[in-house]
Structure formats: C-alpha cells, structure tokens
Amino acid sequence: MSLRATPFHARVAAANRGNDWLTRNGVTLARAYDDAHEEALAARFRCVLVDISWRWRVMLEGPHVMEFLGRLLTRDVSQLAPGQALKALWLADGGGMRGAGAIARYGKESFLLVSTAPDFDWIARAASRFDVGMREISEGGLALIGPHAGAILQAAGIDFTLEPLSLRKTFWRGLDVTLSRFGEQGGYEIWRDADDGLVVWDRLMRTGAPFGLQPAGITATDILDLEAGIARPIRDYAPARDGNAKTPTPKSLGLEILIDASHETFNGRAACLAAQETKTLVGLEIDCETPAPFTPLLHNGQIAGHTLTSLYSPALRRAIALAQIEISASQPGTQLVLTLSPCAETPAFRNITARVTDLPFVSAPISQP
Amino acid sequence: MSDCDALVIGGGVSGLTAAAYLARAGLRVIVAEARNKLGGACESMSFGEGFHAPLTQTLYALDPRVVKDLKLNLKFAVRDMALTGLRADGKHIVLSRDGAARSIAVHSQADAKAWKRFRRELFSLARDMRALWWDEGTFSVSRERLEPFRRLSAAAWLDGWFESDALKATLAFDATENGLSPFEPGSALALLWRASQEMCGLQGAVAALAGGPPSLVQALLEAAKVDIRTGANVSRILLANGAVAGVELASGETIAASIVISSASRRRTLNELLPTGAIGFARADSMDRANPKTGTAKVALALSALPMFAGVPSTARFILAERLESYAAAYSAARAGRLPDELIMEAVTPTAADSSLAPIGQHLLIASVRPVPLAMNDEMKAQLTAKVIAAFARHVPGMHVVASEVLTPAEISSRYGAQDLKMNVAQMLANWDERLRTPISSLMLCGESAISGRAGRIAAAMAIRDKT
C-alpha cells in the first residue's frame, strides 16, 4: 500500500527537514518544515507556500443546482455571478452545524464547494433528490499567504488582479490553472491537475526565492487560522453528523453571521432560528506561553465555558485560544481563570489568568488559506 | 385560479370524512380526487359476468363518532365475523365470541384454558391503547403498560401464551397489517390496535357492510356537501413563507387554499408532493427507508356455489396459515421478489350474507394474500390464482371457479390510488399531533390508521382549531 500523498509530496518531503508529518482528511501533510513559529511569522512579513490539497472540494452541477443549493446552504447563492463566491453553512434538520465552506459559481449550472471537512454522504444524498451531480475534485492546491503574494504571482507571470471571494481560470505559461481567493484576507490559491503539481511548486518556489518565499506546514496555518479567529470543524468542534442533531449551533461558534434569516428555504432553518444558545465564541489571551486547549474556564469561581484550540501566537508572543463561553461572561476584557496541567517546567497544577478579547486577534494584512 | 378555505387530497373514506367535518365548521372545501371515481380502497372491482368484488372486504376500525356525527346510515351484512383458522387437517379453529375455547381444545387443552385469560389481558391492554387512538387529549393515559410492546413481536407475545401452532398462526394474521411481519419488533402493538377498535358496539369485531364498502362512500358523500373534483390529480403542494398555500394539479391548474389535508401516504405527501427538501433532508431519508417491500394481493374467485367448510360459519373470515414459521418463510420469499411456497391469506365469502355482489345463485370468495412482492409478472399472477384455488379446493370438493381476478399490490395502488401505507410501529404509541401534523403548518395528513375516518375527523378538528 502506498502513501496517500498530495501531488506535491516529492517536494514537500525534500523540504521537510524535521520529517514531521500529520494527516488531515486522510492525506499526509507536513506538520512543520522546520520551525512552525518562524513559518507563521514569515506569512506575516514575507510570504509562505502552503500545500492545501487536503481541502475537500466538490463540483455540483445540473439544471436544478440552484434549487438544491437554496435548500442546502444558509445563504442565497442565486445572485452570484460566475467566478464569485460566498461563505455559507449547511445544517442538519435539527439546526446543528454539519459544515461550513465557500461556494463558488463555476458556470451557469455548476458550483464548486470548498470545505475543510468532508460531508460527502449528506450532500450527495440530498443532491440526488434534485438530480444534481456531485463529484469530488482531486487537484493539487497551493496557497500563497503573505504581503508579497501578489508580487510573486506577478513575477511568475500570472495576472493576479482578483477580488477576494472569487475565482478565475487562467492560462499560465502552458498550464491551465484556477486562481482563487477564498482565504479570509489577502492570499491566493492556485489549483492545477495533480500530474503537473511539481511544475507549479517549482515555478513558484523559484520565482518566490528573491521574496523570501518558504514552505509552511499545518501548524503554521493553524496558528494563522487561530489568529484570524476562525473555528474549524474537527479541530475546534465536532460537526453534527446525525441528521436531526441540534448541536453545535452556529451561534456557539461565532458563525451566526453566515446565516441569512431572510433566506427562506434552507435546511434546518426553523430549528436554527428558534434555538436558544447561551454560549458564544470569543478570543482568549492567556497570560503565559503555554497553550491550554480544551480547558475549563472559571468566571468568579464558576465554570463559564471552555477553550477550543489553543496555540502559542508568535505574533502576540503569548498563548491564545478560541473559547466557548456564557454570553454573560463574553464581554471583551472579562477576566477568567484556567488551570494548566503539570509539565516538565512546572510539575504542579497552576492557575493562570486569561482575558476575553475581540476576534480576530490579529487583523494584519495576511491571509489564511 | 379557484379559491377555497380547505383542500382535501383524495376522495376516499379519510378524505371525505375530513371534508365533511371541515364543511360542518363552515369552511369552503374542495376535494381533489385523482381518479374519475371516489372511494379509493373502498371501491369494487368488477369482473366475470356481474361480479363486484370489494377491494376491502372487512371493516374493523370505523370510528363510531364519525358515524354518529355525520349521521351515516349504514347497513351491516355481518356484525361480527369470527376469526377462523382453516387447517389442512380439517381441524378448523373458530374463534367466535363464545365458542372459541371448545374449538381450541381440539388442538390443545392448555390453550383452551389460557384463552379466557388471554382475551381479558388483550382487551385490558387494548383499553389503554384505545385512549391513544380514539380521541385526542380526552384521556390522560399512562403508556407504561404498553411501552414494553414497542420491542415485542406478535410472534413472541403469542408464544408466551399458547403452545398450539394452529392457534398462534391464526391469531398472528391480524399483526400483518400493511407490510408488518409478526416477527418484527413492535408487531404485538398491531394486535392490540386491532383489539382496541370496535364495530357495531363490539370490541375487536370485524364487520361487513351491506353492498360492500362502496355504500360507506355513498353515505359519506351524502353527509359531505362539498365541492368534489374528480380527475383532479394533485401533482404539487404549493408553499408560501413556509406555510401551505394551495396545490397544483397535473393539468397545471392551481387551487389556492390555506388548509390542505392529504389522505395520501405520509411518504407521498411529504417526499413527492411537497417541494424537494422542504421537510428536511434527514426526515426525507428516513421516510424513504420506511418504504414497504411487500404488500397485499387480492384474488377474487367467482364460484358457482357457496363454499362450505366443516363446522365453520360462512360469514367467518378464514385465515390460511399453517404454522407461525410460515410467516417468516413467506416474508423472506416476498422480500426477495418471489411468491411464497405457502401462501398466507385471509379470505371471506361476502355473498354468504349479501347477495347483491354476485348474480343470483353464484358466489364470491375474496382472498387477501400477504405478504407478496409489490409487483408481479403475469406468470406469477397466474401462479398466485392457481395456488389460492388449490388451497380452497382441498376443503371444498368439486369447487367450480367461474371466473377469477387478481390484483397485485402495485396494481391496487396504481388503479385505485390506495397508498403504500406501512404500519408504523413508532407511531402506534404516538399522539395524534405526531401522527397527523407535518413540519409544514396547515398541512395535515389523514390517511393514517386504516379505513376508520378517525384520522380525517381529527385532522379536520386540528386544522379548524389552528385557524381560530
């Protein structure tokens, strides 16, 4: 049995100095090429190249695709022009969140859905009710993140004028590639058939060398994600998998902005709008350098919530976390207490203070893929 | 664009009952029936020369309140048809209201002794069930006694009471309602449900109407002075703002209505008539999975003489099922698309008490054979008829079949619009809200619970209460 690798694996393996790997969506990926914190900082000041082939991408097409997406997604896609995209959620009947992603109009009757976590059975089953065809796309994808991203593309000969949340097919020195900007801020993604993956990688790395372009691993992009204040499925929460699930609610993950209450037809609408949620998503600055993932949070001696992903932020030079917390304790500046487990440095439990902050943590012009 | 206050889909007993109650409340009602004739499962099939075989031969759940409220003038040909097991060895079991024990004793003394206790227990449980099925909210019932039956199969429950296979196989037939197998968990509830019904004031009785079920449809038509449109095939239910707004017919005509009551099956109403996905993807999926794989075929035989069975009254209903295990074998065969080796059936001779259904001197024997595959080819149909004839000919020497007619489950639903309702065990202990309401406001179902009219009455009452 061979490794389930991305089209860039040969180059990734050569660059992975620590031989540090993980899998996401069943694909082998570099956790970090060298120093994850350095890679995260490079995305802020120069530019990094990230293998994002593990993203789940499906093409939905058919005469009734618009009707189908009107039922599936929490926002109306009927006004999208070809090439435009928006972010939306899809919910279970009970209003629980099954997934989040970007939906882009590809053609008249075709849409591309991109998400970090797959939900094949649910969407395929629903699509079949509308005679909408669904196929997974396995292209190689690379993201360029950082202030120099545009300049590198220009130097490489790609027309990089592209609005955020849009995509364009373009011809790049003999290769048909798809250029998209689905990341939260800035940043570009380039998609190309798996066979030509290495050509794309080599071209970008060569052109990017004078700009200080370096590859970045999953830990670095997780840091950027966290700094941008985005809760991700699987990493931060277990997406609803039962068809009638009521949890997690979009509100508890700070995603209620992706629900358009005036959009009348989406699945789970009534339950979602009626749901009473007492918790919300906030950012947490922890007063130490040790991250505290999935740890209870005390407010005035009472448990008021818990952290989700927590990582050291090299940009803020302290540990930060996403947290689900009672709305009453979610005001920015609210002081909370958490307990860190013993570690080699401090072999005892210790109480650390943390403060609620607005999201995103960092609004610098970086992008996350 | 025509307008009405309430539209009822389907002109069968349930639909007409709902329409009658809505009209009584002063609403303008339209009944849309896809076919050119009313009645659905209550129609008769004509065959041979002058034979009219009712599709539904027996009536066991007609709501007495509907009869009273709508002042239905019904004449019964038989008031209490005895459940009778026809045995290959001739030791027939006649479970009549008083003589049952004597008949059982031929097979087992112990069972004859247990019979009285069994009936008391059955009727006592049925009383609890009755509170859940008769009216909404009139009783506060404890479901505690019934809860264990959710997981109990009819076969297992009967096994606990009796030793004689002949008796158990006969009793188990009433648990085979609509695609349910007596070995399925919860099928014991079907037995209780049957026992909780009453006809002509007798609990658990099975009756036959003079003139057959079409006379019930006729009586309902006289009671329901509403606008009835035949040939109006509803192809879609229209929504506006998440509530029902009317229907669209196959002809393209739309009828605006603020209440829609559908006597089509839950699955057809929610998955086929509503816009795709309107009820939620998970619910639509679970409904698709609940689709029955087997059904009931009807075989009508026109006979030159009334078939008589030794020691059995002709107005009985005859069950042919040799052993409890016969059901298991029959279900596995039917699910695999084959005709079972040993057919399980209920047969009646309606002409024994009602001579209007056949030419003078001639008689009808109608068998409801289940389980059988939903669709059958001509060869299987011929085989089915031959097997039914053979099953009775062994008891009736010299039986002469003048003509015969067979309808497969698929033909019954396509020709008469009778629906693929599967007895939903989960709903047996539910309340009426769960049974009749849909996720769409002002869209109600009334096709549940066999030919009783009760669902129609309660659906109409709920719709009227919602509006005021």
**Gyration radius from chain A CA atoms:** 21
> Which of A122, A264, A267 is closest, CB to CB, to B242?
A264
The answer to whether A176 and A183 have CB atoms below 8 angstroms apart is no
Query: In 3-state terms, chain A is what percent helix, strand and coil (to 5)?
Result: 25, 35, 45
Q: Do A267 and B280 touch (CB under 8 A)?
A: yes
Predicted local confidence at residue A359, as pLDDT: 87
Amino acid at B437: R
DSSP state of A81: P
pLDDT tens, residue order, chain A (369 aa)? 677 889 999 999 999 999 999 999 889 999 999 999 999 999 989 999 999 999 999 999 999 999 999 999 999 999 999 999 999 999 999 999 999 999 999 999 999 999 999 999 999 999 999 999 999 998 899 999 999 999 999 999 998 889 889 999 999 999 999 999 998 656 899 999 888 999 999 999 999 999 999 999 999 999 998 999 989 898 999 999 999 999 899 999 999 999 999 998 899 999 999 999 999 999 999 999 999 999 999 999 999 999 999 999 999 999 999 999 999 999 999 999 999 988 888 889 999 999 999 888 887 554 443
Q: Look at strands A279-286 and A350-357 and give their pairing.
A: antiparallel
Q: How far is CA B199 from the centre of its chain?
A: 14
B277–A contact, CB cutoff 8 A:
yes
Nearest by CB: B281 against A67, A243, A265: A243
User: In angstroms, rounded to a whole number, what is the distance separating the alpha carbons of residues A264 and A37?
Assistant: 44
Residues B267, B288 contacting (CB under 8 angstroms) = yes
Nearest to B165 by CA among B235, B87, B267, B279: B87
Neighbouring residues of A49: CB distance < 8 A, sequence distance ≥ 6: A142, A143, A144, A201, A204, A205, A208, A213, A214, A215, A216
Nearest to A243 among B241, B276, B285 (CB): B285
Interchain pair A267, B439: CB under 8 A: no
pLDDT of residue B340: 95
pTM of model > 0.90: no
DSSP-assigned beta bridge partners for residue B294:
B373
Closest residue on chain A to B277 (Cα): A71
Q: How far apart are CA A219 and CA A291, in angstroms?
A: 13
Q: What is the pLDDT of residues B213-262, one digit of tens each?
A: 889 999 999 988 889 999 999 999 999 887 899 999 999 999 999 999 99
Residue range B328-358, pLDDT digits in tens: 999 999 999 999 999 999 999 999 988 888 8
Å from B275 to nearest chain A CA?
10
- At B289 the pLDDT is 78
Tell me the chain A residues in contact with residue B242 when contact means C-beta distances shorter than 8 Å.
264, 270
Q: Identify the residue whose tokens are 């570099």.
A: A30
Angle at Cα B25 formed by Cα B20 and Cα B29, nearest 5°? 55
pLDDT at B1: 46
Interface of A with B (CB under 8 A): 67-68, 71-72, 92-94, 122, 125-126, 129-130, 242-244, 264-265, 267-268, 270
Q: What is the 3-state secondary structure (H, E, C) of B74-108?
A: CCEEECCCCEEECCCCCCCEEECCCCHHHHHHCCC
Give the separation between CA B312 and CA B94, rounded to whole angstroms.
7
Question: How does pLDDT run across B184-197, given as a tens digit for each residue?
Answer: 998 999 899 889 88
- Cβ separation B285–A125 shorter than 8 A: yes
Contact list, B283 vs chain A (CB under 8 Å)? 93, 243-244
User: Which of chain B's residues have a Cβ under 8 Å away from the Cβ of A268?
Assistant: 280
Nearby residues of B98 by Cβ (< 8 Å), 6 or more positions away = none
Q: Is the dihedral of CA A69, A74, A78, A81 positive or negative?
A: negative
The sign of the torsion formed by the CA atoms of A344, A347, A349, A351 equals negative
Decide if B282 and A243 are in contact by the 8 Å CB cutoff. Answer: yes
Do B241 and A130 count as a contact with CB atoms less than 8 A apart? no
> Distance between CA atoms of A306 and A323, rounded to whole angstroms?
6
- Identify the three-state secondary structure at position A150: helix
Q: Collapse the DSSP code of B317 into the 3-class scheme (helix H, G, I; strand E, B; otherwise coil) and give the result.
A: strand
> At a CB cut-off of 8 Å and minimum separation 6, what does B330 contact?
B340, B342, B343, B344, B371
In this structure, are residues A314 and A308 in contact, taking their beta carbons and an 8 Å threshold? no
Structure tokens at A100: 């989040």
Any idea which residue has 């009584």 for tokens? Answer: B24
